Amino acid sequence: MRGRLTGYWLFAPAALWLALFFAVPLYSLVATSLFDPDGSVLTGYDVAWAFGNFPDAISEYWRPLVRSLVYAGIATAICLVLGYVLAYAIAFKAGRWKNLMLVLVVAPFFTSFLVRTLSWKLILADDGWIVNTLQFVHVLGDDGRLLATPVAVVAGLTYNFLPFMVLPLYAALEKLDPRLIEAASDLYASPARAFWKVTWPLSRPGVVGGVLLTFIPAAGDFINAELLGSPNERMVGNVIQNLFTTTGDYAAAGALSVTLMLIIVAMVVAYARTSSTEDLV
């Protein structure tokens, strides 16, 4: 008897964890999204099954919603290119520097996310050396700037989420047997062909993992847009944060959060499907 139940008892901690930190918050978020839109901190909030919150929120905030997906998409694409090169170099070319380089990839995490983003504010400042240099070579106009532009936000997102791309890519590339690349080259594949026919397909699990780990938090991020962007070009994270903490419009904030979540889940499923990595979905 006991033997048959042991399995279920072993399952209990995971189930409890999932209930506490996933099911309950999710329920609470969904419930919030269905609050009576007329509720306020003073009058209290009721779950009114107000599905109208969704079209209302989307029609009012579709711009930041789309902007978030676009920014996150661009940042993810840049991360993929930069991260792939870096992960490849660490996996195959770093030799005895491999561990040091991995530590350096993770090193930024030792500093607070907020502090790191704030320091980018200094780096990209209007009188900073980057802006001055770009003005000097006429990439930027004389009164051109980086701070408070989409470029700064995407750069910030790219910088902040790069390690999330590098680590899964490294894990996938590190497992790749370099003799397979030699075999491809022995079988008439030029270096480019060998990459696309052998290295890339075999690193796909890392690509999928890295893209998800980068895109999902980047799409919901508000710190980068807050500190590096302009108030006119906010991301959906800023809107949600503002609705929750300043305006107190819990219903709209909840509806927007759930919408963002559903969009991301849909995109992830679609992406993972096309990447044919069944083990992820």
Cβ of residue 185: shortest distance to another protein, in angstroms? 5
Q: Assign residue 2 a region (left: φ > 0; alpha: ψ between -120 and 50; beta: otherwise).
A: alpha
- Phi–psi pair at 42, nearest 5 degrees: -75, -45
Q: Do residues 226 and 152 lie in contact, with contact meaning Cβ atoms separated by under 8 Å?
A: no
CA atoms within 13 A on the CB side of 131: 20
Looking at the Cβ atoms of 31 and 202, the one nearer to another protein is 202
Smallest distance, Å, CB 197 to another protein? Answer: 8
Residue nearer to another protein on the CB measure, 60 or 186: 186
Minimum gap (Å) between residue 196 Cβ and another protein: 11
Question: Which one, 162 or 207, has the nearer CB to another protein?
Answer: 207
Q: CA angle, corner 157, sides to 266 and 145, nearest 5?
A: 130
Least distance between another protein and beta carbon 198 (Å): 6
Nearest approach, Cβ of residue 209 and another protein (Å) = 16
Pick 132 or 190: Cβ nearer another protein: 190
Q: Which residues bind another protein (CB under 8 A)?
A: 177, 179-180, 182-190, 193-194, 197-198, 201-202
Radius of gyration of the chain (CA): 23
Toward another protein, which CB reaches closer, 119 or 190?
190
Question: Which CB atom, from 199 or from 259, has the smaller least distance to another protein?
Answer: 199
Distance CA 171, CA 175 (A): 7
Beta strands in 35-146 (DSSP E): none
Least distance (Å) between residue 177 CB and another protein: 7
Q: Which one, of 213, 259, 271, 269, lies nearest residue 64 by Cα?
A: 259
Shortest Å, Cβ 206 to another protein: 13
According to DSSP, the residues that pair with 47 across neighbouring strands are 35
**Cα first-last separation, the chain:** 35
Identity of the residue, 48 or 176, whose beta carbon is nearer to another protein in the bound complex = 176
CA dihedral 19, 22, 26, 29 (to 10 degrees): 110
